[in-house]
Amino acid sequence: MVFIGLFVTVLLFGPAGAETSNKAGVRIGPSGLELPRFASLKADRVNVRQGPGRDHAIKWVFKKAGLPVEILNEYDNWRQVRASDGTEGWVYKRLLSARRTALIMPWEKNPVIVTLHAGPSPSKRVIAKLESGVLANILSCDGTWCHVTVADYKGWVRQDRLWGVYQNEKIK
């Protein structure tokens, strides 16, 4: 009888550390953080593996710290990530940072120019012109515009021009 009670408890509540959902239907991973979510790479060299563990083969290697990745899933100390080109694999969690970064329109195969403005409006002065693929640090987003830094420039870029932030997402 005890076995059945324990079995029912596991069926109703899931195993310890399992993914859950909150009242808004947002997925919550074993870490207590939302899934999916964006993060960035801490190191200049990050191995991406086929599965969650060092015993899984390396699929490819990221070679630039600060690149944004989307965390899709969690298993123990491993995070399943998606790169801006859509490829997926597993990364050890200590190689990831909660610092938010974004790439300027990485989906564009030919160079595209995106303007960085002095304020969150296309009518504000243009501070710089950014080429697709450029890495930006996100300071904040209001759901339409993001306040970013790129090299020595600080300004605003339209949120839909960035990979590393969700549509309508607000970041403070």
pLDDT at 26: 86
* pLDDT bucket at 167, cuts 50 / 70 / 90: very high
pLDDT tens profile 120-148: 999 999 999 999 999 999 999 999 999 99
Q: What would the two tokens of residue 92 be?
A: 């050890």
Dist. CA 1–CA 4, nearest whole Å: 5
Cβ(62)–Cβ(48) under 8 Å? Answer: yes
**pTM score:** 0.85
Number of Cβ within a 10 Å radius of residue 30: 16
CB-facing half-sphere around the CA of 138: CA atoms within 13 A: 30
Which domains does the chain carry? 2-100 (2.30.30.40), 103-171 (2.30.30.40)
* pLDDT bucket at 15, cuts 50 / 70 / 90: very low
Q: Rounded to whole angstroms, what are the CA distances from 126 to 4, 50, 137, 157?
A: 67, 43, 18, 10
Residue 6 has pLDDT above 60, yes or no: no
